[in-house]
Amino acid sequence: MAPKRAVQLSLKMPTHAVCVVGVSAHVDVHSDVPKGANSFRVSGSSGVEIFMVYNRTHVTEPIGKARWPLDTDADMVVSVGTASKELRDFKVRVSYYGEQEDQALGHSMLYLTGVDISLEVDTGRTGKVKRSQGDKKTWRWGPEGYGAILLVNCDRDNHRSTEPDLTHSWLMSLADLQDMSPMVLSCNGPDELFDSHKLVLNMPVSDSKRLRVFCARGGNSLSDYKQVLGPQRLSYEVERQSGEQEIRFYVEGLTFPDADFLGLVSLSVSLVDTGTVPEVTLFTDTVGFRMAPWIMTPNTQPPEELYVCSVMDTHGSNEKFLEDMSYLTLKANCKLIICPRVENRNDRWIQDEMEFGYIEAPHKSFPVVFDSPRNRGLKDFPYKRILGPDFGYVTREIPLSGPSSLDSFGNLDVSPPVTVGSMEYPLGRILIGSSYPKSGGRQMARVVRNFLKAQQVQAPVELYSDWLSVGHVDEFLTFVPTSDQKGFRLLLASPSACLKLFQEKKEEGYGEAAQFDGLKHQAKISINEMLADRHLRRDNLHAQKCIDWNRNVLKRELGLAESDIVDIPQLFFLKNFYAEAFFPDMVNMVVLGKYLGIPKPYGPIINGRCCLEEKVQSLLEPLGLHCIFIDDYLSYHELQGEIHCGTNVRRKPFPFKWWNMVP
């Protein structure tokens, strides 16, 4: 809306005014009146609504031939319900009277031209633009909320381009329009009106780097779509053609929410009278958008693609591991994508390089890969091989200093949906590892943490991972789906559970059964020797204390009970004050629905079975899960990583719509 101005009437000549459909115009009936007049009467032509605004305690509404008194604060307001077919076709007559009842002292005529001006977007979040009578400027969360949504156009729809679509100021592909949000400008009125009036589309300076607007002119070629607003252009005089009642625009998002951007942007259209000096804005309509957040998917979401790298070491290739992954994906009905050595440059840690997520608006959704600032052998893979049609890309670079191990995305996870007290997290909560509660130490880069927090829909939780040599949360936790009411379990690495198991086996007479039995490249160590090793016990007491600290944080921040947690036997050892897995770390598994690809622990063989595998199966298979133990010892474990570190899974998006939550 423009600032309210009253239309001034005159006894000497007719007054002409423009009235926007659905918008009330105040009319000044008091400034120019005949001498001796003390009352007035109003009449109007069909299509004009006239009503009086007055204080009922001081003024009585006239009945029959009675008139409105001039010496009170009774104000006249007019509006029109439709656009005019020609100039000045709506009429309002104000007659002024003195003491004599039937003789008017004078008349004022008001000629109105109705024009239908409105800016419409998908405020109702239905996937289609519909006329809205409500608040289009404000954005509200929740199932009863409203407000339009923009996607960041971070995919690459044109195969001839090597960059994301948002880097281009022109339209590269008609398919690109699907990644934008439609906006419709209604501009119905007599063509002659626009000889002395113009429509101007505007964006705030603060939004100039965050969105771009294209005007559609009905054709099917790229030249029919013209960029009219963007980083270098804050306003656009709309080129309305004769008889045109609607003009279609497409709005493109350019930046994700971040520390300096709450995610809200706006556009407005103004009707400007060019026949005055200076020009006068008669009406402004504003619409607001929220940029769709980047959303992570937890292990409980069904898998769609499993990524793994082909690598070569001194002991040979990881071909057997790739065969095991192929078997696992076949069981899980999931596509396997192998990144060849020429693209990974012998960097196997694909989980550390990137994290899959997605963005969604009511009309469109597509996956988006978040490229970590790690930048090792796989640094080009997300940008060069994953970015493509309907597959977006985003990254955050660390200024000045280089990345630490905690900046790798093995240190980034997300829980399944949880409820904590009265607070619901229908998309789960992001988990990141840091040095907290230690003072100092390694942390995930602030630019990455700020980005994750700014998305709002998966409020991050900081855990303590700096006690580990690599320092990643996936070294001591994971989530698995279950078919019961809870829907998932949190798995935690547990030194105490492992020592308890070994103690039980010793007491059963199996103390000489050895860890690493069956491994050619590792010396065996018996259960008796492990239990008697004071240094190993001390190291695992420390590891258990660190895991227990995280256990309490996870219970508090995710609303978990002890029954929601499964302790997975695991031992660690300290090297230069940091912990590493003593045998393959079983919680560092890949989860493909009910099929779990678990690092083969090479535990003590008792009655022909690995007692560690047997224990894990007894814990997880009653939950409806299938444990598949896979040898990763040489290709991954000896390099301080496991299966989860060496794989990456793209999962189906949540069915829940993020805009229906209340952060």
Catalytic residue among 474, 567, 631, 632: 474
In sequence order, the β-bridge partners of residue 595 are 592, 626
CA angle, 40 then 41 then 46, to 5°: 150
Using CA atoms in the order 327, 329, 330, 331, what is the torsion angle rounded to 10 degrees? 90
CA–CA dist 480, 591 (Å, integer) = 7
CA–CA dist 156, 587 (Å, integer) = 36
In sequence order, the β-bridge partners of residue 250 are 182, 214
Give the neighbor-by-neighbor strand order of the sheet with 197-202.
Answer: 148-150, 280-291, 264-273, 197-202, 235-237
Q: Is 645 a catalytic residue?
A: yes
Question: What are the φ/ψ torsions at residue 547 (nearest 5 degrees)?
Answer: -65, -40
Q: Would you give the DSSP letter of residue 136? A: S
Q: Is 474 a catalytic residue?
A: yes
Asked if 117 and 284 touch (Cβ cutoff 8 Å), the reply is: no
Helices then strands, each counted (H, E), the chain: 9, 44
One-letter amino acid of 488:
F
CA nearest to 212, candidates 171, 178, 253: 253
All residues at 6 or more sequence positions from 492 whose CB lies less than 8 Å from its CB, including other chains: 476, 477, 547, 550, 551, 565, 566, 567, 568, 587
Asked if 469 and 582 touch (Cβ cutoff 8 Å), the reply is: no
Question: How far apart are the two ends of the chain, measured CA to CA in Å?
Answer: 30
Catalytic residue among 176, 285, 352, 632: 352
One-letter amino acid of 408:
S
Residues present in the chain in total: 663
Q: Is 352 a catalytic residue?
A: yes
CA–CA dist 15, 509 (Å, integer) = 107
CA angle, 246 then 167 then 173, to 5°: 55
Q: Would you give the DSSP letter of residue 267? A: E
In sequence order, the β-bridge partners of residue 359 are 366
DSSP string spanning 36-84?
Answer: T--EEEEEE-TTEEEEEE--TTT-----TT--EETTS--EEEEEESS--
In sequence order, the β-bridge partners of residue 108 are 94
| Residue located via tokens 């040489």 | 634
Which tokens is 148 given?
Answer: 């339009």
Catalytic residue among 168, 197, 472, 644: 472
CA–CA dist 490, 441 (Å, integer) = 26
Active site residues per annotation: 352, 472, 474, 645
